[in-house]
Structure 1
Amino acid sequence: MTVSSESAAFESGPYHELEVLRIVEETDDARSIVLNIPEALRELYTYEAGQFLTFRITVDDHPLVRCYSLASCPETESEHKVTVKRVDEGRASNWFHDVLKAGDRLQVMKPAGNFCLADRGTPIVLFAGGSGITPVISLAKTALAKTDRSLLLVYANRDAKSVIFDQELRELEARYGERVQLVHRHDDRDGFLEVEAARSWVTKFAREADFYVCGPGPYMDVVERALESEGVTADRIFIERFVSPEIEALDQKAPHAESDAGARVIIRLDGAETEVIVGDGETILEAAHRAGLDAPCACLEGYCGACVAQVESGRVEMRVNDGGVDEDQAREGWVLTCQGELRSAKAKIVYPDPD
């Protein structure tokens, strides 16, 4: 990440150039990218199952930042593998599918994320929908390799052809036998998952298991309602939400009316300065997107560091900082704009210049 000379010490999540070793076509619309981690970066790119990598790419002269979960197992696999599912009109996912090839080099941040295994000996119940299987299979492989925990995986897809990692899942069943129970749900055969069906798998483990959920919003809503109805406590529920920054930006374009009232922030991005009115309860990133600025973002939850910017004047407070910036960087004025709210009438923030 290139930053201004006076803030060159910022290192919350520098991008390193990594080579694409190979690409694996998992399904018609999902492919895995296997990365080569040089020996000098091995320690920096050490990860836990369930974490993700943040990528910075350029599409049609526009820098884009996206997070993709690691599907590999840190306990048994030496290579780092992420999986990307093609999204209709998704600028980044289509680039990964149509342009990227083996031998190319990518700008990648170190692993981040909190969707990780709790250090317990209880059973594990995993609910995955579509590409939500990517962090989930990493959790499953790691739990089976390093613990004696049993697991149930409920995996929903449109149809049999949409199942990502089908062969890997079969191999896990064969290798670990009774410790693994795999339930496939296909919308074309079984219909969309409903609360009662989800409850049938929750009930058996409601008082003892840890539950991990990742998938499309409607699927996750159903599972969460089932967990709530069975009284599963929050400390045993782990949620990973995939959010498309493109969809998020569209949703945020007009939540607040423009007026002369409200705080104002000058945003310096890609060498240009824009004054934006920030609505009540609105983050800097939301205000930037509403104003039509292509401000970088990825996880939207305060831990990947992709949306970082430096406060030059004024006061900004973060709702959440889950590791995106450390204490030293925060003292230097770095904030996560997806979590940053203005606490002064005026402010100026500066995004790092792209390479």
Structure 2
Amino acid sequence: MMPKFYQLRIQDVKKEAQDSTSVAFDVPNDLYETFNYKAGQYLTLRFNINREDVRRSYSLCSSPVFEEPLRIGVKRVNGGLVSNHINDNLKVGDLVEVMPPDGRFYADTKKENYKTYYLFSAGSGITPILSILKTVLLTEKRSFVHMIYGNRSHDSIMFSTELEQLQNDYKDRFVLVQTLSRPKSKWSDLWTTSKDNSFRKGRVDTEAVEWFINEYPPYAQNAEYYICGPGTMIENTKKALKNIDVPDERIFIESFGGKDSKDTTEAFENAKLTAILNGETIQASIPKGKTILRTLIDAGKEPPYSCEGGVCSTCMCKLKTGKIHMKNNLALTDKEVEQGYILSCQSIPLTETIEVEYK
């Protein structure tokens, strides 16, 4: 099925921290159903920047059960083409091409649930976590939320005012601990910034997660664990949870990027690609340095894709013939990879012929 974009008008642009902005969209009445979403899902935005068609996925920080507009949070990134464009240029009234919500990272909230939710986030990983947090607190009156949120310094904390308000409104069911890796002021100052905030020095690492769960044990034994942030933070959090025997089916992960590492895998130059897309069989040659996805785009085709970072799984297809190397995979499970599914935005050929099929 072809991805469809809709033009949405920007309703609000808000500075959320020193290096981040949130953008709210006005959804017309006739598109309400199309843009209905689950807490934790993302939007894909499309822009034309420097005459290039670019798409990026950003998690919704709004909640589908609060009476609030559709809102995404975007943190500035060094050299980030789209994130910096959004932070520098978007304004109220602008029209933006937006794909309907998608994503496999979400909480299945029900009013009768009695659970303890552990939420782990760092940096802009707060965006889907905030959506889940608000939705759980409003929907599940008997559930508890324990959250730890890591940032570099006090200036970089996104949604600090909103988080403080949620602490005040739900103090009996919501615990928040913020941890800062490079605080700019004295600890004595930080400790008194808010009567309910307890700031901890360091990152969201294995030690911090173990301390956090010991300090705030579950109220309801039915516990779920949601993790969103950069790759290293996710690995450390998952390791700490496995150390206390948390089963995989209770751990939900959304990655916002991996560790910086140079991939030196050599592709097979000018491999012959056969791609089945929307019922059409396409033949093309994959130039050196190009992924399967970019080869199809350059051939004038319209394969499904969003982030081009190996995070969202929109570009997933099945490898029928040949071998490929995925430069990054933050979306597919081990089982999906075993079944032959690949991320075409990250896949380069290792054999002379490659055949893929988009479902």
- TM-score for the superposition, normalised by structure 2: 0.74
1:95 to 2:85 alignment = yes
Q: CA 1:44/1:346 → structure 2, altered by over 3 Å: closer, same or farther?
A: same
Q: Which residue of 1 aligns with 2:42?
A: 52
Aligned match of 1:72:
62
Pairing 1:19–2:33 present: no
* Counterpart residue number, 1:329: none
Partner of 1:109, secondary structure, is strand
**Structure 2 counterparts to residues 97-246 of structure 1, below 5 A:** 97-119=87-109, 120-147=113-140, 148-189=142-183, 190-203=201-214, 204-205=217-218, 208-243=222-257
Q: Which residue of 2 aligns with 1:256?
A: 266
Q: Give 1:135's aligned amino acid.
A: P
Q: Which residue of 1 aligns with 2:344?
A: 337
1:337, CA displacement in angstroms?
2.6
Q: How far did residue 258 of structure 1 move?
A: 3.9
For residues 33 and 108 of structure 2, what CA distance do their matches in structure 1 show? 22
Give the SS at the match of 1:137: helix
Instruction: Tell me the residue number matched to 2:273.
Output: 265
Instruction: Report which stretch shifted further, 151-160 or 207-216.
Output: 207-216
Distance 1:112 1:150 in 2: 26
For structure 1, the 5+ residue unaligned runs are 1-9, 268-272, 290-294, 324-334
- Aligned-residue Cα RMSD (Å) equals 4.0
Number of residue pairs the alignment of both structures matches: 309
Structure 1 residue 196: deviation in Å? 1.9
User: Corresponding residue for 1:3?
Assistant: none
Whole-angstrom distance in 1 between the partners of 2:180 and 2:209:
14
Q: What's the CA shift string for 1:212-257, capped at 9, x where partnerless?
A: 111122222221111111111011101011138xx99x955x4124
Choose which of 44, 63, 76 in structure 2 pairs with 1:86: 76
| Separation in 2, partners of 1:223, 1:51 | 21
8 A Cα contact 1:127 1:154, kept in partner: yes
Q: Output the CA distance in 1 between the equivalents of 2:322 and 2:166.
A: 48
**What does residue 328 of structure 1 align with?**
none
2:33 aligned residue (43, 48, 73): 43
CA-CA distance at 1:112 after TM superposition:
0.5
Aligned-partner Cα distance in 2 for 1:310–1:223: 31
State the Cα deviation string for residues 262-281 of structure 1 (Å, max 9, x = none).
x52279xxxxx9621799xx
Segment of structure 1 superposing worse, 28-37 or 218-227: 218-227
1:214–1:303: structure 2 CA closer, same or farther, 3 Å change rule?
closer
Q: Distance in 1 between matches of 2:322 and 2:24?
A: 38
**1:182 and 1:80, CA in 2 relative to 1: closer, same or farther beyond 3 A?**
same
1:144-184 deviation line (CA, Å, top 9, x unaligned)? 00002110110111111111111111111111121010101
Q: Is contact 2:267–2:348 with CA below 8 Å preserved after alignment?
A: no
User: Which AA in structure 1 matches 2:247?
Assistant: T
* Residue 349 (structure 1) shift: 8.4
Counterpart contact for 1:126–1:212, Cα < 8 Å:
yes
Distance 1:200 1:164 in 2: 23
CA contact (8 A) 1:207 1:232 kept: no
Q: Identify unmatched segments of 5+ residues in structure 2.
A: 184-200, 276-282, 298-302, 333-341
Q: Which amino acid aligns with 2:128?
A: P
Letter in 2 for 1:59: I
The equivalent of 1:284 in structure 2 is 292
The 8 Å contact of residues 268 and 350 in structure 2, kept in 1 or not, is answered as no
| Alignment partners' CA distance in 2, 1:41 and 1:132 | 27
Amino acid aligned to 2:71:
K
Partner of 1:330: none
| Contact 1:68/1:84 (8 A) holds in 2 | yes
Tell me how far apart the structure 1 counterparts of residues 238 and 51 of structure 2 sit (CA, whole Å). 40
Under a length normalisation based on structure 1, what TM-score does the superposition of the two structures give?
0.74
Q: Distance in 1 between matches of 2:135 and 2:64?
A: 7
Whole-Å separation in 2 of the counterparts to 1:299 and 1:123: 34
Secondary structure, counterpart of 1:135 in structure 2: helix
Structure-1 separation of matches of 2:292 and 2:122: 31
Task: Tell me the percent identity.
Answer: 30
Shift of 1:342: 8.2
